[in-house]
Amino acid sequence: MYLIHHAVTVPSACRTTPDQFVGNPYLMNGALDKVDHAFGEVIAVLEQEERSQDRQSGGNALLHKFKSWRDELERMRTGVDNLSLPTRAADPPGITQEGGMFAD
């Protein structure tokens, strides 16, 4: 069985990875390209399953979720979504930060 995947390609020059999030944007862009490709593969499989089972395109929640993640990633990378550093709430009184999960 062969799946034919049609993807819209956005030139990588339009995609950005803000320096505030990573030290090496070229490395991150490569990793994000792989995530984008993986989303496309999952979406293609789910769409193929829909077609093979004669399902309506509106009923697959998993397909919609992956499409929304792919779209969100694309908006982030093209600068449409403004990313900001998350603000961390202060630790409640009496709770201190400990070592890693496997600390002795």
* Lowest pLDDT segment from 5-9, 88-92, 97-101: 5-9
Of the two residues 101 and 62, the one the predictor is more confident about is 62
Whether the per-residue pLDDT at 90 is higher than 50: the answer is: yes
In angstroms, the CA 37 to CA 48 distance is 16
Instruction: For the chain, give every domain's residue range.
Output: 18-77
For residue 6, give the amino acid letter.
H
Mean pLDDT of the chain: 75
If one counts every other C-beta atom within 10 angstroms of the C-beta of residue 43, the result is 19
Q: For residue 51, what pLDDT is reported? A: 87
Q: For residue 7, what pLDDT is reported? A: 40
* Mean pLDDT score, 67-77: 93
Rg of the chain, C-alpha, whole Å: 19
Q: Which of 28-32, 33-37, 94-98 has the highest mean pLDDT?
A: 33-37
